């Protein structure tokens, strides 16, 4: 080909490119607001889902009775493939549900995708909303607007082996420093056990160490987040956590690659003196070898008697922007996230309620949740409400940072500076 021909080909290619941009689907909010018809609901399929279904069925029955002509069609979607399902729903509004359950760290991302309906006013008018825990409310908030109702929360606390503690004459650690020395004492006396089992890929087990030392994941607010992971305080927390990966507690060769589930598995199998686990880990530990020989306390903070801030995980219920039954869908969301439903879900599934009063009643009924409620009351933290978070999370920025330090590839300063750079790049690209 001669040069002019080549240029012509290039120009033609450019024209083709300009003419057909990749596909986008129209996801603008629907104008119709039908008062009858079928409402589709997606909820997560939990392990042992039956009790959840029973609670939801009774909510649905009451809802259908109260709203003549409305039918509710509930579908339980597998947690593992939820990301694909939700993306597909956003891409094709016709097959999307009206109401859905979603993980609270996904809120900002889904809002940016244009999938969730702004329910700020409805939430303000909702009589029950006043008792909502502030952190739970933060997890449905993006840029001061609300995009759903909190459904339940999950927090982590310290699990420990009562039999091991009694045998070695140890008392429950009251500070983070004591936590480390207690862990080493256990390992020294019982080399077959990890003192406190930790994981290099266990971000939400590590973050309380950073938060307790005064560090932050990010500072600023939506649109102008800046990473705080390389601040002096945060580095102190990272040092505290990563120093637990040593042969006298949890050898790096084995613990660096562990995630949250691995640490719980090790604890449940009786291979660790202590572990950081959630209220949702209760069933797994109960099913393990250590049943009846463990107890839970809030994770201690830096000063004696304080509680390390925990990450407030959990799920929310939201309405999709594409719904053609706006009023009904919002009412159904409120019914599903109501105090009554949350109280029955706690009884059925052990999900911690997001309303402070309901939660206190639950704690009074079931002593096991007391340390978790204490942790929640002491104040919890949440990930930055930015769509960048899903990017930071899936490109493993924080696990990489912890693992670099643990495996001796980088020191705390270099690893945290690198992580901060990656986080800032993500915040910069999506706001």
Q: Which residues bind other proteins (CB under 8 A)?
A: 17-18, 20-28, 87, 90-91, 109, 112-115, 200-201, 252-254, 256-257, 259, 387, 390-391, 393-396, 399-401, 403-404, 406-407, 409, 430
Do residues 245 and 254 touch, judged by C-beta distance below 8 A? no
Nearer to other proteins, 247 or 360 (CB): 247
Q: Cα–chain-centroid distance for residue 91?
A: 24
Nearer to other proteins, 23 or 127 (CB): 23
Measuring CA to CA, which residue among 405, 1, 379 is closest to residue 235?
405
Nearer to other proteins, 40 or 321 (CB): 321
Nearer to other proteins, 332 or 406 (CB): 406
Tell me, what DSSP letter sits at residue 22?
Answer: P
For the CB of residue 388, give the shortest distance to other proteins in the complex, in Å. Answer: 9
CA-based torsion, 228, 233, 239, 241: positive or negative:
negative
Label residue 212 exposed, middle or buried (CB < 10 Å: 0-12, 13-18, 19+). buried
For the CB of residue 214, give the shortest distance to other proteins in the complex, in Å. Answer: 25
Helices (H), 50-202: 50-66, 82-91, 107-112, 120-125, 134-138, 162-168, 176-189
Nearer to other proteins, 229 or 343 (CB): 229
For the CB of residue 389, give the shortest distance to other proteins in the complex, in Å. Answer: 9
For the CB of residue 27, give the shortest distance to other proteins in the complex, in Å. Answer: 4
For the CB of residue 44, give the shortest distance to other proteins in the complex, in Å. Answer: 19
Nearer to other proteins, 111 or 335 (CB): 111
- Residues 132 and 105: their CA atoms lie apart, in Å, by 18
For the CB of residue 410, give the shortest distance to other proteins in the complex, in Å. Answer: 8
How is 267-288 classified by DSSP, letter by letter? HHTT-EEEEEEEGGGHHHHHTS
Nearer to other proteins, 127 or 394 (CB): 394
- Residues 54 and 63: their CA atoms lie apart, in Å, by 14
In order of 179, 233, 264, 391, the CA distances from 394 in angstroms are 30, 25, 22, 5
Measured in Å, how far apart are the chain's first and last C-alpha atoms?
A: 46
114: left (phi over 0), alpha (psi -120 to 50) or beta: left
For the CB of residue 140, give the shortest distance to other proteins in the complex, in Å. Answer: 17
For the CB of residue 56, give the shortest distance to other proteins in the complex, in Å. Answer: 27
Nearer to other proteins, 109 or 277 (CB): 109
């Amino acid at each position: 080909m001669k040069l002019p021909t080549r240029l012509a080909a290039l120009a033609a290619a450019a024209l083709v490119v300009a003419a057909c941009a990749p596909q986008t689907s129209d996801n603008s909010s629907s104008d119709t607001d039908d008062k009858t018809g079928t409402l589709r609901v997606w909820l997560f399929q939990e392990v042992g889902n039956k009790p959840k279904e029973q609670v939801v069925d009774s909510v649905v029955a009451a809802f259908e009775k109260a709203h003549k002509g409305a039918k509710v069609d509930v579908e339980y979607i597998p947690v593992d493939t939820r990301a694909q399902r939700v993306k597909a729903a956003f891409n094709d509004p016709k097959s999307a549900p009206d109401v859905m359950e979603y993980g609270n760290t996904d809120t900002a991302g889904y809002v940016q995708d244009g999938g969730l309906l702004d329910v700020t006013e409805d939430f303000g008018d909702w009589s029950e909303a006043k008792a909502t825990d502030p952190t739970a409310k933060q997890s449905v908030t993006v840029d001061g607007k609300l995009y759903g109702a909190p459904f339940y929360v999950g927090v982590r606390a310290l699990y420990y082996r009562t039999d091991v503690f009694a045998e070695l004459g140890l008392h429950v650690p009251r500070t983070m420093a004591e936590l480390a020395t207690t862990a080493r004492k256990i390992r020294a006396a019982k080399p077959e056990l990890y003192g406190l089992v930790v994981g290099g890929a266990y971000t939400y087990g590590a973050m309380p160490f950073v938060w307790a030392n005064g560090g932050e994941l990010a500072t600023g607010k939506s649109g102008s987040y800046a990473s705080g992971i390389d601040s002096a305080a945060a580095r102190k927390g990272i040092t505290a956590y990563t120093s637990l990966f040593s042969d006298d507690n949890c050898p790096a060769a084995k613990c660096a690659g562990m995630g949250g589930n691995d640490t719980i598995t090790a604890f449940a199998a009786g291979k660790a003196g202590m572990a950081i686990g959630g209220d949702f880990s209760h069933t797994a530990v109960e099913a393990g070898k250590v049943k009846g020989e463990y107890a839970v306390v809030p994770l201690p903070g830096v000063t004696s008697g304080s509680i390390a801030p925990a990450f407030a995980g959990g799920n929310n219920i939201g309405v999709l922007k594409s719904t053609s039954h706006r009023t009904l869908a919002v009412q159904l969301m409120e019914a599903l996230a109501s105090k009554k439903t949350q109280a029955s879900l706690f009884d059925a599934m052990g999900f911690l309620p997001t309303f402070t009063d309901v939660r206190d009643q639950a704690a009074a009924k079931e002593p096991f949740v007391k340390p978790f409620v204490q942790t929640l009351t002491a104040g919890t933290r949440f990930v930055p409400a930015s769509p960048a978070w899903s990017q930071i999370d899936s490109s493993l920025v924080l696990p990489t940072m912890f693992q670099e330090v643990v495996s001796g590839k980088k020191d705390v300063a270099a690893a945290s500076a690198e992580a901060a750079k990656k986080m800032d790049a993500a915040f910069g690209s999506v706001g």
